[in-house]
Amino acid sequence: MEYHEEIMRKVSLLREQEHVRILSLETSCDETAAAVVEDGRRILANVVFSQIDLHALYGGVVPEIASRAHVEACDRVVDEALRQAGMELGDVDALAVTCGPGLVGALLTGVSCMKGLAFALRKPLIPVNHIEGHISANFLTHSDLKPPFLCLVVSGGHSHLVKVPDYGVYELVGQTVDDAAGEAFDKAARVLGLPYPGGPRIDELAEEGNPEFLHLPRPHVSGYDYSFSGMKTAFLNAVNKMEMKGGPLPKADLAASFRHAVVSFLVDNAVRAAGDLHAGVMAMAGGVSANRLLRREMQKACDASGLLLYMPQVSLCTDNGAMIGSAAYYQLMKNEVATLELNAEPSLRLL
């Protein structure tokens, strides 16, 4: 039987099976992560090997270092995930891997690793969009969450407001016209001399600062779009001026002011869109959804507008393998599996 025919026959059997357990691998940036997820909802194992220490020295992710570190870590995280799940490779029903967007070399290591495994095991391989993975992290935390909902996707590379009318279906409501929210946090952190990755550092420092210390202008954008480069420049100019005057920088106040400006913009737009589009349910996804103020303010605003809010647990907001395994399950149910031609797609879009 042709290889792909054999795989598709296995896929149709899996769709009838009571439980489906997927082994997933995520290597799109600086985390080598593997997981085993059952039925898209239940985490049996979730292993994240962070490369932060390797990149911190350079103040950001160095693509070549990331690829090499993924090559070394892939086998280890997969073995560890299987060990935690109490399973062997043969027990896995299907495999999943992030195929984009991300760093091409980093993606390629994961794609090659899982293609090799899938071929050797003659099991279906599901290619997953990284952003779709982030959105699916909500399904792992909330067993009752089902589409339709509106989702604010805020990561290091993306800021989107999307409608999710069904599993794996997305409609664009708004997006950033320049920087992503995470990128803006990272740049502001760098201006304050905070080490990489800056988002979580700003968030921590901001807890002790005064958000009213510095007023940052809200950009004029149309519809439900976002823009962060103006805020970032205003912040940089204000910090430069203070530095020229001498004396210590009030870093906590500056961090709190920047965080407040970004968060109130994110929340106001998303809640306004939900009202206009008559959405009853809001979700959040991506690394920035771990931000403490964003979580508090979004909850307050949703409560005030009668919106139900879902957010992934904090550990599932940033890159992990489990979110890829969740998204993969819903793709498998729609026969969306890869051929051996699968390649990394660094600029893959969500929609």
Which residues between 274 and 313 bind ligand KG4 (CB under 6 A)? 286-288, 290-291
**Phi/psi of residue 92, nearest 5 degrees:** -75, 140
**What is the contact mask toward ligand KG4 in residues 191 to 210, using x (rule: CB under 6 A)?**
------xxxx--x-------
Q: Which two tokens stand for residue 213?
A: 């210390």
Neighbours of 308 (CB within 10 A): 14
What count of other Cβ atoms lies within 10 Å of the Cβ of residue 33?
Answer: 26
Query: Does residue 155 belong to the site contacting Zn ion (CB under 5 A)?
Result: yes
With the C-alpha atoms ordered 65, 196, 226, 279, is the resulting torsion angle positive or negative? positive
Segment contacting ligand KG4 by CB under 6 A, of 48-56, 138-146, 180-188, 240-248: 180-188
Burial (CB count <10 Å: 0-12, 13-18, 19+), residue 72:
exposed
Question: From the CB of 283, what's the least distance to ligand KG4, in Å?
Answer: 14
Q: Are strands 42-50 and 31-38 parallel, antiparallel or unpaired?
A: antiparallel
Asked if 124 is part of the footprint of ligand KG4 (rule: CB under 6 A), the reply reads: no
256 CA to centre of own chain: 23
The one segment of 108-116, 148-156, 302-310, 327-335 that binds Zn ion by CB under 5 A? 148-156
Position of tokens 């091409």?
A: 104
Which of ligand KG4, Zn ion, none does 182 bind, CB closer than 5 to 8 A by kind?
ligand KG4
Strand bridging mode 125-129 / 94-100: parallel
Binding characters for Zn ion, 292-321, by CB under 5 A (x = yes): ---------------------------x--
Q: Does 98 bind Zn ion (CB under 5 A)?
A: no
What are the residues binding ligand KG4 (CB under 6 A)?
A: 29, 134, 155-157, 182, 185-186, 197-200, 203, 286-288, 290-291, 318-319
What are the residues binding Zn ion (CB under 5 A)?
A: 155, 319
